[in-house]
Amino acid sequence: MPTTFFEWTKKLGQQHFSMGSGSTLCGMPMLGNNYARHYYDEDKVPCEDCQQRMAIITDGETHD
Please list the residues that pair with 46 across neighbouring strands.
15
pLDDT class for 1, splitting at 50, 70, 90?
low
Residue 32 domain-assigned (yes or no): yes
Number of domains composing the chain: 1
What's this model's pTM, rounded to 2 decimal places?
0.85
Please list the residues that pair with 15 across neighbouring strands.
9, 46
Q: Is the pLDDT of residue 63 over 90?
A: no
Residue 41, classified by CB atoms within 10 Å of its CB into exposed (0-12), middle (13-18) or buried (19+), is: exposed
Residue 38 domain-assigned (yes or no): yes
Q: What is the pLDDT of residues 6-39, one digit of tens each?
A: 999 999 999 999 998 889 999 999 989 999 999 9
Residue 1 domain-assigned (yes or no): no
Residue 37 domain-assigned (yes or no): yes
